Amino acid sequence: MTSTPAPWTDTPWTARLVLDDGTVISGIGLGATGKAAGEVCFNTAMTGYQEILTDPSYAGQIVTFTFPHIGNIGTNGEDTETSNLAARSGVRGCVLRAEITDPSNYRAAAHFDAWLKSRGIIAIAGIDTRALTARIREHGIPNAVIAHEPSANFDLDALKAEAKAWPGLLGQDLVPDVTSGQSYSWDETRWVWGKGYGRNENPEFHVVAIDYGLKRNILRCLASAGCKVTVVPATVTAEEVLERCPDGVFLSNGPGDPAATGAYAVPQIRKLIDAGMPVFGICLGHQMLGLALGARTRKMPQGHRGANHPVKDTATGKVDITSMNHGFTVDGETLPAGVVETHVSLFDGSNCGLEVTGSPVFSVQFHPESSPGPQDSHYLFTRFVNKMRERRGAPAKPER
């Protein structure tokens, strides 16, 4: 793969992306200066770059955007997805095809380059992202170092050694880097055109959300579904959760290897299931629920990241177009008796959902909060509320 100068600019190559096989890709440095090691993945979404780069699930990763025009709508103070504002962005860097143009959107409050600098995110632009994506699809996800130095002076031997030595995400518990250090309440509801965000002033249910790297729009969807939400750190015990007398428990998304985080989280999840709690998991929460039920997880060659992933409901045959961001998956062939596979990916047949027969426990691999992405699966939050409603002896309401 070569990195010939982009035809639209005379900007010097002040950034390098150095892969663990020794490949060096030169480009235009943007955002923060310095260097960072991470796993190079790609995301196919055409919108939502701010949400993607603030999603805690991307901790330890360098995101390659396949859509060429990233940054042209600017950034704002409302579309940040991390719920732990005390933490810096978990993402290690981003890779772009084109340089950033001036923002052209009525909601823009800051230029994307300035926003990257403010969050300490290194970016490289002017490279062939199609070739890089094809390489990942054919050979799997590489580890790499992304570096930005305005002087363009790089110690390439040192960068190659660092990229080769970086351990990767397998076996890594990255949740401590992104979880909240204390509990807090949440009542903000989903964004409505012309009104912005609202408040849930009359909650019907109380949900404890365990923060493994929680996204704000998940919290908003829970509040919009009628829930008062109490967010608690990832290291919370089942006893501490049950002391809060919740109607249900939510297991959030997050980064890293589910088996590593599961070393301390899975025993607590098992206790919550045994206590009869309605439980809903998303992404990492789904994977750790699978582990708690006796299944196994595995690392995927490329993972699924984008806003156009078709997922089939195995019971109804209905297909949702979903948003995804994961590099690990529950091995559907290891699901024990009494645990049903509810959703599968139509791209590769991998597991995308499970449910415990006769129990108010279920989870999905994809992101029904749709930030960014389609809203096909918002009904899953109503399904969770219905399980809490039925536990009270009340009838379920139509899913919507």
332 and 356: one domain?
yes
266 — pLDDT class (breaks 50, 70, 90) = very high
Instruction: Please tell me the total count of domains within the chain.
Output: 2
Q: Which pLDDT score is estimated for 9?
A: 58
The DSSP call for residue 367 is: B
Q: Which pLDDT score is estimated for 159?
A: 98
CATH code of the domain in which 71 resides: 3.50.30.20
Q: Answer whether residue 56 shows pLDDT above 50.
A: yes
Domain span holding position 195? 175-391
3-class DSSP state of 3 = coil
Q: Answer whether residue 4 shows pLDDT above 80.
A: no
Q: What is the pLDDT of residues 180-236, one digit of tens each?
A: 999 999 999 998 988 889 999 999 999 999 999 999 999 999 999 999 999 999 999
Q: Which of 135, 165, 195 corresponds to the end of one domain?
A: 165
Active-site residue, from 94, 352, 369, 378: 369
228 neighbors 219 (Cβ within 8 angstroms): no
Q: Which of 165, 191, 222 corresponds to the end of one domain?
A: 165
301 phi/psi in degrees, rounded to 5? -60, -40
283 is a catalytic site residue? yes
Mean pLDDT within 30-59: 97
Mean pLDDT within 334-344: 98
What are the residues whose beta carbons fall under 8 Å from the beta carbon of 397, sequence distance 6 or more?
382, 385, 386, 389
Q: Answer whether residue 245 shows pLDDT above 80.
A: yes
As a whole-number percent, the residues of the chain with pLDDT over 90 amount to 92
161 and 204: one domain?
no
Q: What is the pLDDT of residues 127-178, one digit of tens each?
A: 999 999 999 999 999 999 999 999 999 999 999 999 999 999 999 999 999 9
Active-site residue, from 148, 304, 343, 367: 367
**Structural domain contains residue 10:** no
Closest by Cα among 261, 210, 217, 251 to 59: 261
315 and 258: one domain?
yes
Closest by Cα among 37, 3, 305 to 125: 3
85 — pLDDT class (breaks 50, 70, 90) = low
**Integer angstrom CA distances of residue 141 from 42, 46, 113, 297:** 9, 21, 26, 17
369 is a catalytic site residue? yes
201 is a catalytic site residue? no
Q: Answer whether residue 83 shows pLDDT above 50.
A: yes
90 — pLDDT class (breaks 50, 70, 90) = confident
**Integer angstrom CA distances of residue 187 from 54, 85, 206, 308:** 21, 17, 11, 29
Q: Answer whether residue 6 shows pLDDT above 60.
A: no
Burial class (CB in 10 A: 0-12, 13-18, 19+), 138: exposed
Cα of 75 vs its chain's centroid, Å: 19
158 and 207: one domain?
no
108 and 53: one domain?
yes
Question: How much is the pTM?
Answer: 0.95
240 and 289: one domain?
yes
Active-site residue, from 94, 283, 309, 378: 283
**Structural domain contains residue 357:** yes
Higher-scoring residue by pLDDT: 2, 14: 14
